[in-house]
Structure 1
């Protein structure tokens, strides 16, 4: 192990830890924050991110020949969707 890595390992937890004082943390029970939370829905469970799809995809592992994958990738972005469409067509869906 070289000297630089050794010195990085010796960095104390206090040097890398973020410490908040009471004054740094906003009081979200104030009327201003409550209005903001109601208006934006920030703290509502399940409201962040992309909405759930009505028919979500299933993640799987599939081993394919490299030339097949390269052929779909050669047409650019969206190759997974095109591959899915080709598979649907092949099975008659």
Structure 2
């Protein structure tokens, strides 16, 4: 079955307001929203790469976005792997 073949008419879209009220969890533990200051040692190559890419945005913002994207990608990858383990071809 392809994604476009799935009938989602009885499943409402999640709104931005609902997402703002959602409780975030990692490993089953609640995680607060916002940002947390940390001290982090990075290789100079990494810092210079992100500084070169950042422009006006700020390299720390790009590093945060890259880490968030990695987590989301890894989570999806792990979820697919679990499904494939449960439902092999």
Question: Structure 1 length as normaliser, TM-score?
Answer: 0.38
Higher relative contact order, structure no. (Cα contacts within 8 Å, ≥ 6 residues apart): 2
Question: Structure 2 length as normaliser, TM-score?
Answer: 0.39
The structure with the larger Rg is: 1
Greater helix percent: which structure? 2
